[in-house]
Amino acid sequence: MATDTKAIVVTGAASGIGAATVEELARKGARVLAVDLRLPPDPPPELADRVVPYQADVSDPQAVEGMVAAAVEQFGTLDGIFNNAGILGAIAAIPEYPEAVFDEVLRVNVCGVFYGMKFAIPELRRAGGGAIVNTASIAALGGGAEASAYVASKHAVLGLTRSAALEVAKDGIAVNALCPGETDTRMQEDVGVLTPEARAEAAERSSPMGRWAEAEEVARLTAWLLLEAPAFVTGTPLIIDGGTTA
């Protein structure tokens, strides 16, 4: 049953955590601009009146400005944004890490989040408040060998989130960082863990629960942050990792 009609932008919406969040938000009654580098697939028919697929590259500031404008044009307002698009980059030690890949990871994971907030905040202020969720990771909380660009980018997302939360605290806008642990999405294929057996084995080794998160459970936390969380929850990393960092 519809509980909310807020207008929300979700990036990285064609796959994984973003796709699951679009569906969770729409099932709760929100209207969603579903944004990805490649046009996200059409939603299931029962959600078609609430989900608008949109193509944009979050590392391009003009494209992100256009994305926010499209949401406002479509829905008449903006109540929230989930800056979630991200890439893993290379798995390589620092001396071998390709400079161009390092730059690309920072452009997508850090600049993408910055542009999303830069263009969404004025609209959220106009709406009288709202919510921003930026996808960091438990990689925002500690180091990771052979993943320097990714780890640096996620630390930066947490820093951006905290700074933004302070800037907009008096505007009724909450800004939080989502920090998932290992989640079973396409990104895991980029790590090279391909077969279901290899994935299960890696999960058994790395997680106290012996499994990775499903995108859908991460989506439920995200939708709560965007639609329902108390206003006093702001500037904070929300960890969903099955106890990995405990």
Scan residues 169-188 and list those touching ligand NAD (CB under 6 A). 180, 182-183, 185-188
Rule CB under 6 A: is residue 221 a binding residue for ligand NAD?
A: no
Closest CA to 58 of 159, 153, 122: 153
Beta carbon of residue 159, minimum distance to ligand NAD (angstroms, whole number): 15
Beta carbon of residue 19, minimum distance to ligand NAD (angstroms, whole number): 7
Q: Indicate the residue among 58 and 238 with the shorter CB distance to ligand NAD.
A: 58
Rule CB under 6 A: is residue 143 a binding residue for ligand NAD?
A: no
Active site residues: 150
Q: In a 3-state reduction of DSSP, which class is residue 176?
A: strand
Where are any strands of DSSP class E within 128-225?
130-135, 173-180
Beta carbon of residue 228, minimum distance to ligand NAD (angstroms, whole number): 21
Scan residues 96-125 and list those touching ligand NAD (CB under 6 A). 108
Rule CB under 6 A: is residue 67 a binding residue for ligand NAD?
A: no
Beta carbon of residue 53, minimum distance to ligand NAD (angstroms, whole number): 12
User: Total residues contacting ligand NAD (rule CB under 6 A)?
Assistant: 27
Half-sphere exposure of 233 (CA within 13 A, CB side): 18
CB 35 within 8 A of CB 10: yes
Give dist(CA 193, CA 199) in Å, integer: 6
Q: Indicate the residue among 87 and 175 with the shorter CB distance to ligand NAD.
A: 87
Which residues, in sequence order, are CB contacts of 12 under 8 Å at separation 6+? 18, 35, 36, 58, 84, 85, 86, 135
Scan residues 69-98 and list those touching ligand NAD (CB under 6 A). 84-87
Q: Which stretch binds ligand NAD (CB under 6 A): 10-18, 26-34, 65-73, 203-211?
A: 10-18
Beta carbon of residue 1, minimum distance to ligand NAD (angstroms, whole number): 27
Interhelix angle 112-126/61-75, rounded to 10 degrees, is 30
* Long-range contacts of residues 167-172, Cβ cutoff 8 Å, at least 24 apart: 167/121, 168/121, 168/124, 168/125, 169/234, 169/235, 171/121, 171/124, 171/125, 171/129, 172/128, 172/129, 172/130, 172/231
Scan residues 11-40 and list those touching ligand NAD (CB under 6 A). 11-12, 14-18, 36-38
Q: Using CB under 6 A as the criterion, which residues of the chain lie in contact with ligand NAD when the complex forms?
A: 11-12, 14-18, 36-38, 57-59, 84-87, 108, 135, 137, 180, 182-183, 185-188
